[in-house]
Amino acid sequence: MADTTRRTKGVQRGQRSQRVVESVRRATLSELARVGYAQLTMDGVATEAGVHRTTLYRRWPTKQDLVASLLDDGLDRFTHVPATDDLRADLLALARQLATDLFDPVGRALAAVLASPAPELREVVDHGRTVVKQTFEDRFARAIATGALPANTDIAARAHLLFFGVVHLALDEVPPGDPRYARLVAQLA
């Protein structure tokens, strides 16, 4: 995963800085939707955001770093879905959160990035998939620990099927509240 930590001492963290970060985030998503990852440029993002290029390079030295920071926001929302003692409810909540993230315009732009053949994104894509699958696996492991699932349950396979099932439904424009997500979860939990 790209290191998205602060690179220079000159990066500010105040209110104005947060507005700049949000402006850059919106501009990046707009540019991704308009031109795609291959044609995305730091100059284009800076122009769209109304900031100088050096503002971008202080925080995000490469466009890979910029895109990785967008993905991290979605992963953070996903991994913070509360766990309960109800495996199906937990998996359905995670499935719907993932679908919500993929269903909106922001998610669609990021999904296109994740499907990009750009070799510099391989690490970012692999990290994102790993985090999501691991979150699903953690819920299955919790169910095994509580006796809700047999000890020999192949949680990696179930997490994989659930992940790609949700991605498929979301990219087919099935809304997050559609009962097909619950049916998918019911087959795996």
- Residue 52 is classified by DSSP as -
Which has more confidence, 4 or 117? 117
User: What superfamily would CATH give domain 69-188?
Assistant: Tetracycline Repressor, domain 2 (1.10.357.10)
pLDDT (tens digit per residue) in 54-95? 989 999 999 889 988 888 777 888 888 888 889 999 999 999
Read off the pTM: 0.76
Start-to-end C-alpha separation, the chain: 30
- The alpha helices in the chain, defined as continuous H runs, are 15-39, 42-49, 53-59, 63-79, 87-103, 105-114, 122-145, 155-171, 179-188
As assigned by CATH, the class of the 15-61 domain is mainly alpha
How is residue 65 written in tokens? 């770093």
Break the chain into its structural domains and give their ranges: 15-61, 69-188
pLDDT (tens digit per residue) in 122-170? 888 888 888 889 999 999 999 999 999 999 999 999 999 999 999 899 8
d(CA 51, CA 49): 6
* Confidence band of 14 (pLDDT split at 50, 70, 90): low
